[in-house]
Amino acid sequence: MNSTKIIVTTLLGFFINAASAQQNSANIGYTSDYFYRGAAVAEESVQSSIGASYELSSVTLSAGAFTNQAVENGSDVYILTAGASTSFADDLVSLYGGLNHFEDVDGASLFEFALSAGLSTPLSPTVNLYRSFDDDLFTWEVGVSHKFDLEVVGLCLHALYGESELTEALESDYFTAGANLSKGISDNAEVVLSADYVDSDVAEDEWVFGGAVSIKF
């Protein structure tokens, strides 16, 4: 875990000194179960993340760190991301390319390239592609979502299907669908409640419930 701790420390220093960042964000929350690309990683967990983004001409640079700390059975997980995104055709099409680093306390480690594309149309369709550097493991996902601005809360419905080579000997097909409810509690903070159904061929199907507080600064 030493390499991950070094990278996390570096990223945190980057965030703390990001006075010129266009947007910084942080959140902390709880989830009843944690799945990673269809694989059951942990049961009850505390999750936290921090991120920052900069706009450089027509390109947005971003970096983030995510942790899942298992309260019940399961593994602690650390994920680091860094990349760049842009949009064109009057913001109809968005593209993202970046690097992800995944590591858990059991010693599993993954370093991969990520590529995503999305459309600003009804249902906001997205395609995500991932390729690991060490083992050439490949993952692809397609998803849709739609946001509703209700009088009291915000509602987002979403669904995603993916196929992932978790290891050289194990592949996962998975589908998730659910809803998020969000409520602003100040100008830069909101509470989010979530409910998702996870259907995977490498884990028992589960309803996953969670809640988080998110701030922007």
- Report whether 110 contacts 131 (CB < 8 A): no
Q: Quick one: CA torsion of 201, 192, 49, 168, rounded to 10 degrees?
A: 10
For residue 189, count CB atoms less than 10 angstroms from its CB and return exposed for 0-12, middle for 13-18, buried for 19 or more: middle
pTM: 0.87
Question: Token pair 């942080």 is at which residue?
Answer: 26
| Euclidean distance between the first and the last CA atom of the chain, given in angstroms as a whole number | 29
Q: Quick one: pLDDT at residue 57?
A: 85
Q: What is the DSSP letter of 123?
A: T
Q: Quick one: pLDDT at residue 106?
A: 79
Query: pLDDT 10s per residue in the chain (217 long)?
Result: 455 455 555 555 555 555 455 679 999 999 999 999 999 999 999 999 999 998 888 899 999 999 999 997 899 999 999 999 999 999 999 999 999 999 988 778 889 999 999 999 999 999 999 999 988 899 999 999 999 988 899 999 999 999 999 887 889 999 999 999 999 999 999 999 999 999 999 999 999 999 999 999 8
Rounded CA-CA distance 76/70 in Å is: 6
Q: Quick one: pLDDT at residue 92?
A: 97
CATH superfamily to which 2-216 belongs: monomeric porin ompg (2.40.160.40)
Residue 105: how many other CB atoms lie within 10 Å: 14
Residue 68: how many other CB atoms lie within 10 Å: 21
Q: Quick one: pLDDT at residue 207?
A: 98
Residue-range domain boundaries for the chain: 2-216
Helix (H, G, I), strand (E, B) or coil at 156: strand
Token pair of 147, please? 């946001």
Mind giving me the DSSP string for 162-213? EEEE-SSS-EEEEEEEEEEEEEEEETTEEEEEEEEEEEETTS--EEEEEEEE
